[in-house]
């Protein structure tokens, strides 16, 4: 039976992530994020393996993280971060003060998009379609994407209720491994190699 091995790597820190702002596709890595990605590349040299393919979100932070890791990704639009519409660039705190009901709706109802952008359910649909298309490809693929996209991918892969994405934390530069065999994905947790 053929298997697909995915390494989902969350892009490094951006100013929006550090300041709890709704980011956008043009958000680049901040100085600390770039340093951390370069340090990860150095520390993991030889341990990340050589993928058969590397794909990334079209976001600047994802492509910059891939570059810092020494990877040349193909951009995959299906892996884009959520479009936060009118909230892009604004902080959670601002939205909580100005639009508390809308923020509550967005955080409690994955089908909701009060900001005029994309719902979490819509992100799950496109990320899930892409993920399902990779199963059984007998390839090793490294994916660089926003932490939210990886959270949603894990929930989809494990066939969990979509609301569970809020209970999955993915930090910048976290590496999540999924293995696809047949009709199922398996979450693979392992210790880092130190040799």
* Chain segment 62-79, per-residue pLDDT in tens: 999 999 999 999 999 999
DSSP letters of 43-80?
HTTTTS---SEEEE-SSHHHHHHHHHTT--PEE-GGGP
Are 63 and 144 in contact by the 8 Å Cβ rule? The answer is yes
Round the average pLDDT of the chain to a whole number and report it: 91
Mean pLDDT within 145-168: 96
Judge whether 79 lies within some domain: yes
- Please indicate, yes or no, if residue 102 is contained in any of the structural domains: yes
CATH number at residue 156: 3.40.50.1240
Domain annotation covers residue 159 = yes
Number of domains in the chain: 1
* Domain presence at residue 60: yes
Residue 134 lies in a domain: yes
Between CA 47 and CA 118 the distance in angstroms is 36
Task: Show the domain range for 76.
Answer: 5-188
Asked if residue 123 is part of any domain, the answer here is yes
- Whether the per-residue pLDDT at 190 is higher than 90: the answer is no
The DSSP bridge partners found for residue 143 are 8, 55
Residue 155 lies in a domain: yes
Nearest partner of 64 among 25, 103, 104, judged by Cα: 25
């Amino acid at each position: 039976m053929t298997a697909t091995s995915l390494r989902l790597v969350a892009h490094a820190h951006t100013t929006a992530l550090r300041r709890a702002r709704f980011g956008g596709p043009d958000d680049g890595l901040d100085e600390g994020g770039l340093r951390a990605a370069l340090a990860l590349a150095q520390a993991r040299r030889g341990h990340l393996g050589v993928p058969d393919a590397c794909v990334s979100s079209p976001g600047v932070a994802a492509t910059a993280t891939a570059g810092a890791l020494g990877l040349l990704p193909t951009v995959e639009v299906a892996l884009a971060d959520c479009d936060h519409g009118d909230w892009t660039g604004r902080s959670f705190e601002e939205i909580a003060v100005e639009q508390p009901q809308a923020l509550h709706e967005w955080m409690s109802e994955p089908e909701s998009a009060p900001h005029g952008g994309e719902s979490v359910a819509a992100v799950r649909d496109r990320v899930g379609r892409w993920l399902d298309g990779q199963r059984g490809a007998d390839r090793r693929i490294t994916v660089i994407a926003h932490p939210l996209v990886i959270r949603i991918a894990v929930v989809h892969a494990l066939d969990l209720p979509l609301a569970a994405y809020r209970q999955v934390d993915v930090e910048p530069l976290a590496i999540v491994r999924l293995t696809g065999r047949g009709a199922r994905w398996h979450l693979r947790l392992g210790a880092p190699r130190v040799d």
